[in-house]
Amino acid sequence: MDIKPPARIAPILEQIERFHAAEVRPREDKLRHRLENHREYLDADGRLHPEVQAARREIMRAAGREGIFSLHLPQEIGGGGLTRHEMFFVEEKVYSYGVGLNPAMLAWTDGATPRLMFCREEQRARWVAPLVAGEKTCFNAVTEPGAGSNLFDMKTTAVKKAERWVLNGHKSLITNPFEADVGHVLAVTDPGKGAHSFTYFQFDTAAHLGRGFRHGRVYKTMFDDGLTGEFFLEDLALDDDAIIGERGGGFQIAMASINWTRMRRAGMCSAWSKYLIDRTVERMRSRDVGGRPLGSNQGVQWMVADMVLDWAQARALSLACLQAFEASGPWWGTRRSPEDIRNIALIKLSNDESFFRVADRAVQLHGGAGIMKDTTINKLFQIARNLRIPGGTDEVQRTTIAETLGLRSRGE
């Protein structure tokens, strides 16, 4: 089961180890009082505390300088050129450190995403390079109060008026809307054209704040991320060069982007599941109940065995799917075979659900100690519960898998 990383990845994993020790761990030590206390982790408004935010940004920039932050992107735009299969091991390494500041080592939805691959040559210096380098952050705004699982319900519009695009809408449940330097927004430009109705726009958030771009509330999520919120577009005026890719090409870009999010679940959930398994085994060995270690009870042993089964199955499935995916062109490509689409949905569904079951058992086996907020066990449980919603819910993944098998509820 212990499927090893390819040889070319070994020095990168060592580099990450050194980077974590030099750049991440010292900042975590300094901010321990905030990282281990949800009241200190957020500010009075419920947003990520500025000190935590600043530390994350410092790590992103340092990781950018070291060439770690964008290892997943192609070299032609400044990335490391790793395949998704190779990135599995990088992501597994980065998340193996738990839930401190370590996730900031790698680009996430607020950083260098595959949407950048669709920017034109002349857009690269201004819009792409700073995100690839971790110098700036962005948000990806697709969801709206009335459009989540089905983006065809979208109401945000971009209408061409006297040479400029005028955007209006309300985007909700967005990661990083308050801190992002760059906004990526999906809007309807060509209603009634099915998948060709949507266009992606990018804009400088600071330049438009109060001038067409207005922050809404921050959401109090169950995992206290302090990063999720809403915003409003009120006659936001943008030029043609704000378009990412082509007019009408937004749906394909959104799917390329979301596919990346889904595939990224594999290394992340594997690492966090293993983290929980290791700590649970440790606890089952050291915790005595009724004069003997908890782990000597067969009922407990079977629960631990089920945790390992869930982790190992999702990991093996993910690696097989990612390997199959390598053979079918660039991972950010917009033309995917039904098998590719199914594999991506299988990765997200299997990882999200198995990680959730692992986390649930870890909490149960830790007893009252697992219920306490501000423990890593509990935090990972909250995160695991959350993961089953963003990036396409469990149900959306099941529907996608069924559709690749020719089962459709509408049309055809």
Binding site for ligand FAD (CB under 6 A): 109, 140-143, 148-149, 173-175, 221, 228, 386, 389-390, 392-393, 395-396, 399
Between CA 199 and CA 255 the distance in angstroms is: 12
Between CA 380 and CA 363 the distance in angstroms is: 9
As measured in angstroms, the least distance from the Cβ of 393 to ligand FAD is: 3
H/E element, 65? helix 50-65
CA-to-CA separations, 280 to 155, 277, 312, in angstroms, rounded: 46, 5, 16
By the 10 Å C-beta count (0-12 exposed, 13-18 middle, 19+ buried), 368 is classed as exposed
**CB closer to ligand FAD, 103 vs 148:** 148
As measured in angstroms, the least distance from the Cβ of 246 to ligand FAD is: 20
**CB closer to ligand FAD, 145 vs 338:** 145
As measured in angstroms, the least distance from the Cβ of 320 to ligand FAD is: 26
As measured in angstroms, the least distance from the Cβ of 14 to ligand FAD is: 32
Q: Are 96 and 24 in contact (CB under 8 A)?
A: no
Q: Are 249 and 347 in contact (CB under 8 A)?
A: no
Angle, in degrees to the nearest 10, between helices 298-326 and 338-366: 160
Residue nearest ligand FAD by beta-carbon distance: 148
Q: Are 52 and 35 in contact (CB under 8 A)?
A: yes
Between CA 128 and CA 77 the distance in angstroms is: 8
Between CA 378 and CA 366 the distance in angstroms is: 10
**CB closer to ligand FAD, 153 vs 240:** 153
Between CA 321 and CA 311 the distance in angstroms is: 15
* DSSP structure string for 269-323: HHHHHHHHHHHHHHHHHH-EETTEEGGGSHHHHHHHHHHHHHHHHHHHHHHHHHH
**CB closer to ligand FAD, 109 vs 378:** 109
**CB closer to ligand FAD, 111 vs 392:** 392
Which residue, chain included where needed, has tokens 């700590």? 279
**CB closer to ligand FAD, 228 vs 273:** 228
Between CA 94 and CA 98 the distance in angstroms is: 8
As measured in angstroms, the least distance from the Cβ of 142 to ligand FAD is: 3
| Structure tokens that stand for 328 in this block | 């079918």
As measured in angstroms, the least distance from the Cβ of 398 to ligand FAD is: 8
Between CA 190 and CA 294 the distance in angstroms is: 62
As measured in angstroms, the least distance from the Cβ of 87 to ligand FAD is: 20
As measured in angstroms, the least distance from the Cβ of 287 to ligand FAD is: 33
**CB closer to ligand FAD, 141 vs 359:** 141
Q: Which residues contact 119 (CB under 8 A, 6 or more apart)?
A: 127, 128, 202, 244, 245
Angle, in degrees to the nearest 10, between helices 250-286 and 338-366: 30
Which runs of E-coded beta strand occur in 86-245? Answer: 138-141, 157-161, 164-175, 182-188, 198-204, 213-218, 228-238, 243-244
As measured in angstroms, the least distance from the Cβ of 21 to ligand FAD is: 30
**CB closer to ligand FAD, 17 vs 395:** 395
**CB closer to ligand FAD, 220 vs 285:** 220
**CB closer to ligand FAD, 311 vs 332:** 332
As measured in angstroms, the least distance from the Cβ of 169 to ligand FAD is: 12
